[in-house]
């Protein structure tokens, strides 16, 4: 092999080696890490008790670097709340679309509400604890956009449940009543759980699911249905 050929081979190997290396985490992955850390802190210690610098430290970046991803701590809060509702909405739509039998779909929807990861439990805790912050307009543009997004997601989720319950009434399974009011009452019962439930406590999610689901069915006028 000539000197030129050896040089060409080494250059090709170096280029191939660079291509084989794993890509560095991009801005999106770092943003998700910040959201995960914020979810953990807000869920465990509360939004007000969490320092923005603690979230940065948990991700391994300086506090000022957070502003590359979020306009403020409250902007980050809205994004955590948005993830909670987006996950619930995706789960609801998937089950409703996949299960044509209304009775079975209802049971799956109710039980799936307790098939959660610890991160999802914290997301719900944050959503319920800080729900009041959705009512006031925000001057910073990205904050206001995020706030409006969460409110729109919330309306969409409630409307989905009202539509689903209305279908149950049309099929003669549910007693006829105001589907929107019934949906809000049902979601209110479910949401109240996350104001006091703590991951890792004496009560398991499985035990909680059985207790709450039976009450949800009673609220719907279905007694011991299922």
Q: What are phi and psi of 73, to 5 degrees?
A: -60, -40
CB 163 within 8 A of CB 153: no
Domain boundaries, the chain: 25-219
What architecture (CATH level 2) is domain 25-219? Orthogonal Bundle (1.10)
Considering only 16-30, 61-75, 103-117, which range has the smallest mean pLDDT?
Answer: 16-30
Distance CA 145, CA 13 (A): 48
* Digit-coded pLDDT (tens) for 141-173: 999 999 999 999 999 999 999 999 999 999 999
**Rounded mean pLDDT, 102-108:** 97
pLDDT band at residue 198 using 50, 70 and 90 as cut-offs: confident
């Amino acid at each position: 092999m000539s000197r030129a050929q050896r040089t060409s081979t080494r250059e090709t190997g170096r280029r191939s080696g660079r291509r084989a290396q794993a890509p560095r985490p991009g801005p999106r992955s770092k943003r998700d890490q910040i959201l995960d850390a914020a979810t953990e802190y807000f869920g465990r210690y509360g939004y007000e008790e969490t320092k923005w610098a603690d979230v940065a430290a948990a991700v391994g970046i300086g506090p000022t670097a957070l502003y590359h991803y979020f306009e403020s701590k409250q902007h980050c809060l809205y994004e955590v709340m948005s993830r909670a509702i987006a996950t619930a909405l995706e789960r609801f739509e998937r089950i409703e679309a996949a299960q044509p039998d209304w009775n079975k779909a209802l049971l799956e929807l109710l039980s799936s509400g307790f098939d959660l990861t610890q991160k999802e439990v914290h997301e719900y805790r944050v959503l319920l604890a800080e729900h009041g912050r959705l009512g006031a307009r925000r001057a910073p543009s990205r904050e206001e956009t995020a706030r409006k997004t969460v409110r729109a997601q919330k309306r969409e989720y409630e409307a989905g449940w009202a539509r689903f319950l209305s279908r149950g009434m049309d099929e003669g399974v549910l007693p006829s009543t105001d589907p929107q009011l019934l949906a809000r009452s049902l979601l209110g019962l479910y949401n109240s759980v996350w104001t006091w439930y703590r991951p890792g406590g004496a009560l398991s999610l499985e035990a909680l699911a059985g207790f709450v689901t039976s009450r949800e069915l009673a609220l719907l006028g279905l007694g011991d249905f299922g």
